[in-house]
């Protein structure tokens, strides 16, 4: 059928398929019955075509690092199935997920959106996710291909990575997604790879992806991430997104006419688009693009289970789990206690069905709300608290706010991110809007108004210009680098008085190459001070236990900017120190998208890392704290003691964050625990680490053979739950070469098994390693090579806790071609 359609299509029609129609849909060819399909952002939900901050509600699942912490591919596959159902509820046929870039620096703004520092763990979880999604007839899109490990100057930065590191670390998740999961779509990254944009990189998109790995799906650009016509098409980029066409359309037709692009190149790319439509069933039944909310009890239960499964208990001197019956006064403290920090920021945001805060979850778990005392203590937000209330929004043609509004509509929060405007009469590049609302402060005193805008804006209070986001506007660090740095201004307000707040916005007069966004965000807050810190300390003083909810939120862990450091923002460390000084039973619950330094670690009894676990946050954290569920997570990323211990933080800006448009991956294959092993730098918490609520004994590991065979070696180890309750144990297998002609990591993860055992139960972990697991990439030979010799198979509880060692022999050198099938 596809060949027949291609034969009947004109060049112009074939070309039309190679750009989006708009932000979220492909171009139909009605003459031939070729429908349009919709794509939707993931990976922790399916947003649909709505704004990043509004739209039809969706189920909000845990972020990827929380999934990485589960070490549970079967559970992640179940999530993939559920996410596919959410995509269908938004009329989408393609999910823009998963994200499989590697945790390199610890500061990447999208660290939360990626699974792990280890490519093998990342690959196993990505394969499971893709299989879950695609098993339901929705196409998955693995991203960002490749080298997008930082958000700093990501649209132009060149990630300079040697081929060995690429093959062993950064490409492996993509390779397994293609060869094992049959992923249907790949998204190129914004950055350049070794000087060439990945969206026009023939070695990457054609030689490696298609010729070596056999990929037969589509390659799409990240949004506004394509830069050329003939160069990108010839390199292997099929679909330019979003639409309408910028570098395709008439430009591509002309490029074919003048011989810059061969007609068969366009035909092949159009054929891959048609194959995608066929895969998702678009020809059998034209997709219904309508969107609706799908709030299923089974999704709620799965999100809650995933939240506990990914929770990592980093420290516990026996205080956890808490005994509900024995608790009197419980202090629930910190900036993340009453706020439900359920997801990271950027394109992963969705409008969640609901958000359960830790405070709500604890109150529900304890039933006796009178026993709970709450205080904030300090803030941790990067931006001023978002305005919430009834807002009237009027839209005008042109940027002058003149005449009658074209349309008016209500809103309820002070953030507007316009993918689509509410009327076709409005031009996204030439419109204006007026937001009118009122604010009644609860307390008298200085309040701070803040605003950030992509476009130009002014904020007035009772007619007085308070925040000027118009004059002298320059790009800053918000909205993917398209908005200014948040502008702030303090003003004295009287409690109980109603103030009129008006924001006037107009779109930018010039549209630049790259991402173009129209957005504004405004907020107001009364700054917290010493009295608030003191209140939290006094609340903790006589409590049976002080539960401190600290960390970050989606303003810090977000697409578009990297973190400034690895410390808790604001006065949170001070809050921990002061609370721990008055309450010996202090438990810290962290919510971050990656590692943090913990100078206060020795002063608290327990530390629980919850990440951003989705809409069931409060229930999941209460389940773990009170022992209704165990903390099932293990670290998917090393937590260093200090930022300077990270392999990318060597004091050379060319290595991080980059210099003169290049960031050099000088550490090569020595990322994460590989770096800590080979440098001898002891981490705060090693890769794979996590505590539970029960104890296990391990037997001695046994290998099925002493010599490696083509079909691999199976290593088994018996594990017994010797504690007094059900729990899970993670068995990890690392390979260590005993002697090598090239520098190699001390050990590398090659297999793992997660066992769930009842009290007194014994189970056997079976871990299989294959010849490629012994290998390194030989750049000169363009192949994976395992040298003759001995190798140790290390059976471990984490990267620093080796429980058993089995030595095997490779009798003959093994060479693996890059095109070989993967098991």
Q: What token pair was written down for 456? A: 């130009």
Determine contact, residues 135/86, Cβ cutoff 8 Å: no
Determine contact, residues 454/519, Cβ cutoff 8 Å: yes
172-179 vs 119-134: helix crossing angle, rounded to 10 = 30
Secondary structure percentages of the chain, helix, strand, coil, to 5:
25, 30, 50
Burial of 555 (0-12, 13-18, 19+ CB in 10 A): buried
DSSP string, 728-771: EEEEEEEEEESS-SS---S-EEEEEEEEEE-TT-EEEEEEEE-G
CA dihedral 622, 623, 625, 626 (to 10 degrees): 110
Bridge partners of 715?
703, 767
Catalytic annotation, pick one of 160, 222, 238, 677: 222
CA distance 607 to 691: 10
Determine contact, residues 386/415, Cβ cutoff 8 Å: yes
Phi-psi region of 538 (alpha: psi -120 to 50; beta: other; left: phi over 0): alpha
CA distance 247 to 240: 8
Residue listed under structure tokens 């009947």: 8
Residue listed under structure tokens 């502008």: 487
Burial of 502 (0-12, 13-18, 19+ CB in 10 A): middle
Determine contact, residues 357/338, Cβ cutoff 8 Å: yes
617-625 vs 297-309: helix crossing angle, rounded to 10 = 50
Q: What token pair was written down for 354? A: 């609901």
Q: Are strands 312-316 and 606-609 parallel, antiparallel or unpaired?
A: antiparallel
Question: Omega of the bond prior to 129 within 30 degrees of 0, cis?
Answer: no
820 is catalytic: no
Q: What token pair was written down for 573? A: 């460390």
Bridge partners of 372?
330
Give residues with Cβ within 8 angstroms of 28, minimum separation 6: 21, 34, 35, 36
Closest CA to 761 of 729, 722, 717, 797: 722
DSSP one-letter code for 691: B
Give residues with Cβ within 8 angstroms of 373, minimum separation 6: 329, 330, 331, 332, 539, 543
Closest CA to 106 of 729, 776, 801, 667: 667
DSSP string, 474-494: ---SBTTTTBPPPEEEEEEE-
Q: What is the enclosing helix (H) or strand (E) of 816?
A: strand 814-817
Q: What token pair was written down for 171? A: 């490409």
Closest CA to 558 of 483, 508, 507: 483
CA distance 139 to 120: 23
Q: What token pair was written down for 776? A: 């390194």
Determine contact, residues 141/178, Cβ cutoff 8 Å: no
Closest CA to 98 of 54, 142, 147: 142
Bridge partners of 394?
408, 434
- Expressed in angstroms, the distance from the first to the final Cα of the chain is 32
Catalytic residues: 222
């Amino acid at each position: 059928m596809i060949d027949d359609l291609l034969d009947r299509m004109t060049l112009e029609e074939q070309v039309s398929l190679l750009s989006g129609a708009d932000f979220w849909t492909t171009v139909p060819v009605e003459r031939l019955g070729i429908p349009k399909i919709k794509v939707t952002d993931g990976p922790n939900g399916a947003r649909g075509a709505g704004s990043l901050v509004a739209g039809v509600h969706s189920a909000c699942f845990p972020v990827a690092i929380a999934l990485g912490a589960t070490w549970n591919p079967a559970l992640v596959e179940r999530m993939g199935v559920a996410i596919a159902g959410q995509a269908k509820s938004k009329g989408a046929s393609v999910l823009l997920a998963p994200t499989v870039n590697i945790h390199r620096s610890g500061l990447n703004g999208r660290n939360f959106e990626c699974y792990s520092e280890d490519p093998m763990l990342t690959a196993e979880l990505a394969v499971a996710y893709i299989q879950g999604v695609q098993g339901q007839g929705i196409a998955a899109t693995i991203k960002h291909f490749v080298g997008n490990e930082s958000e700093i100057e990501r649209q132009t930065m060149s990630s300079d990575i040697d081929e060995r590191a690429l093959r062993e670390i950064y490409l492996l998740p993509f390779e397994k997604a293609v060869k094992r999961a049959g992923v249907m779509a790949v998204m190129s990254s914004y950055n350049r790879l070794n000087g060439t944009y990945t969206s026009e990189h023939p070695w990457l998109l054609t030689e490696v992806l298609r010729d070596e790995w056999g990929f037969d799906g589509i390659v799409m650009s990240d949004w506004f991430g394509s830069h050329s016509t003939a160069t990108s098409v010839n390199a292997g980029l099929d679909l330019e997104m979003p639409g309408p066409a910028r570098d395709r359309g008439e430009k591509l037709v002309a490029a074919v006419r003048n011989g810059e692009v061969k007609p068969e190149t366009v035909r092949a790319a159009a054929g891959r688009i048609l194959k995608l439509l066929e895969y998702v069933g678009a020809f059998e039944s034209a997709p219904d693009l309508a969107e609706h909310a799908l709030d299923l009890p089974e999704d709620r239960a799965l999100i809650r289970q995933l939240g506990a499964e990914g929770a990592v208990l980093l420290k516990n001197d026996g205080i956890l789990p808490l005994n509900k019956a024995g608790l009197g006064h419980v202090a629930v403290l910190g900036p993340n206690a009453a706020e439900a920090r359920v997801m990271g920021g950027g394109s992963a945001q969705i409008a969640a069905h609901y958000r359960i805060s830790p405070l709500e979850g604890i109150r529900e778990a304890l039933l006796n709300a009178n026993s709970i005392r709450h205080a904030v203590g300090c803030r941790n937000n990067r931006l001023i608290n978002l305005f919430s209330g009834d807002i009237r929004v009027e839209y005008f043609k042109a940027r002058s706010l003149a005449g009658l509004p074209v349309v008016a509509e209500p809103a309820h929060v002070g953030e507007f991110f316009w993918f689509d405007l509410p009327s076709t009469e409005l031009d996204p590049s030439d419109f204006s809007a007026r937001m009118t609302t009122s604010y009644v402060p609860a307390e008298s005193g200085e309040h701070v108004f803040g605003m950030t805008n992509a476009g130009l804006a002014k904020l007035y209070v009772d007619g007085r210009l308070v925040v000027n986001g118009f004059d002298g506007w320059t790009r800053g660090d918000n909205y993917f680098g398209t908005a200014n740095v948040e502008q702030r201004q303090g003003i004295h307000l009287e409690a109980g008085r109603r103030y009129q707040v008006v924001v006037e916005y107009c779109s930018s007069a010039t549209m630049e190459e790259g991402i173009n966004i129209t957005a504004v965000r405004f907020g107001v807050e009364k700054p917290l001070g010493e009295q608030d810190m003191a209140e939290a300390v006094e609340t903790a003083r006589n409590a049976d236990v002080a539960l401190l909810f600290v960390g970050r939120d989606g303003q810090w862990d977000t697409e578009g900017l990297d973190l400034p450091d690895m410390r808790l923002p604001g006065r949170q460390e001070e809050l921990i120190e002061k609370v721990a000084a008055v309450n010996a039973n202090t438990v810290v619950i962290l919510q971050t998208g990656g590692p943090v330094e913990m100078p206060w670690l020795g002063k608290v009894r327990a530390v629980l890392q919850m990440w951003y676990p989705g809409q069931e946050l409060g229930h999941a954290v209460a389940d773990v704290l009170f022992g209704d569920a165990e903390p099932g997570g293990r670290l998917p990323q090393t937590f260093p003691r200090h930022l300077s211990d990270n392999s990318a933080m060597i004091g050379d800006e060319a290595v991080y964050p980059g210099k003169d448009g290049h960031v050099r991956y000088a550490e090569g294959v020595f990322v994460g625990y590989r770096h800590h092993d080979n440098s001898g730098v002891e981490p705060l918490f090693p890769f794979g680490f996590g505590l539970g609520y029960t104890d296990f004994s391990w037997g001695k590991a046994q290998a099925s053979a002493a010599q490696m065979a083509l079909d691999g070696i199976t290593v088994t180890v018996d594990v017994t739950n010797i504690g007094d309750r059900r729990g899970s144990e993670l068995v990890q297998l690392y390979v260590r070469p005993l002697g090598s002609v090239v520098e190699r990591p001390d050990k590398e993860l090659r297999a793992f098994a997660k066992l769930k055992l009842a009290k007194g139960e014994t189970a056997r972990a079976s871990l299989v390693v294959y010849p490629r697991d012994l290998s390194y990439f030989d750049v000169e030979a363009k192949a994976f090579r395992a040298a003759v010799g001995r190798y140790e198979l290390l059976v471990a509880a984490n990267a620093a806790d080796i429980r058993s060692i089995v030595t095997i022999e490779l009798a003959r050198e093994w060479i693996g071609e890059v095109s070989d099938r993967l098991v």
